[in-house]
């Protein structure tokens, strides 16, 4: 009797650990897919028009659709999205958990104790979230920096009247890509 309870306990612990590893792996795969898809298409637009107007037009008209398309390619229990504390698009509004994680990232970036490689995993009763920080790179400054061209600034204002995603510097914390993996029961 004691042996079978011990064996059952080990099996349960093993299956919980297996979910944890799988959820993190699934989340990272979803994050990678969205990140690479958006980055490659944005890079293509910047090559066509180095001043950034094609890129901002792309972002305003296609970024949400690409995120939705990526989600259709994922298993039904996995979803991925982008969000930020300095929001540009209201469709990417963070929830309380996102805000808590991003505030931790922001503090770590300000203290120079974090990098874009620092992954955060949050376990909840019904889901696991995996977060990957986004860092402002040189090309990001065209639309998110302190000295945005008047043409791009006008496009941003027209598309996003409540934009709060400018004034950033190279290396600043920009936001996160977050994957949510619903736990299978």
Containing structural domain, residue 111: 2-182
| pTM: predicted TM-score of the whole model, two decimal places | 0.83
* Per-residue DSSP letter, 170: T
Q: How far are the Cα atoms of 100, 150, 173 from residue 147, in angstroms, in the given order?
A: 29, 9, 18
30-51: pLDDT as tens digits: 999 999 999 888 888 888 877 7
* 168 and 141 Cβ atoms separated by less than 8 Å: yes
- Where helices occur in the chain by DSSP H, the ranges are 2-48, 53-73, 96-110, 141-144, 150-159
62-108: pLDDT as tens digits: 888 999 999 999 999 999 999 999 999 999 999 999 999 999 999 99
- How many domains would you assign to the chain? 1
* Distance (Å, whole) CA 145 – CA 136: 9
pLDDT for the residue numbered 15: 43
DSSP 54-70: HHHHHHHHHHHHHHHHH
The pair of three-digit structure tokens given for residue 90, joined into one six-digit string: 């209201």
* Distance (Å, whole) CA 147 – CA 168: 9
């Amino acid at each position: 009797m004691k042996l079978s309870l011990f064996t059952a306990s080990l099996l349960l612990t093993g299956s919980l650990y297996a979910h944890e590893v799988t959820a993190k792996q699934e989340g990272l795969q979803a994050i990678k897919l969205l990140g690479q898809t958006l980055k490659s298409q944005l890079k293509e637009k910047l090559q066509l028009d180095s001043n950034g107007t094609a890129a901002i037009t792309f972002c305003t008209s296609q970024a949400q659709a690409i995120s939705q398309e990526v989600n259709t390619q994922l298993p039904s229990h996995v979803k991925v999205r982008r969000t930020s504390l300095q929001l540009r698009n209201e469709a990417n509004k963070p929830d309380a958990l996102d805000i808590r994680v991003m505030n931790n990232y922001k503090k770590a970036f300000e203290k120079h104790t974090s990098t874009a490689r620092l992954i955060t995993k949050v376990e909840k009763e019904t889901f696991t979230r995996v977060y990957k920080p986004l860092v402002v790179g040189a090309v990001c400054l065209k639309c998110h920096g302190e000295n945005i061209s008047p043409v791009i600034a006008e496009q941003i204002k027209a598309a996003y009247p409540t934009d709060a995603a400018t004034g950033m510097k190279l290396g600043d914390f920009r936001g996160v890509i977050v994957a949510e993996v619903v736990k299978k029961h």
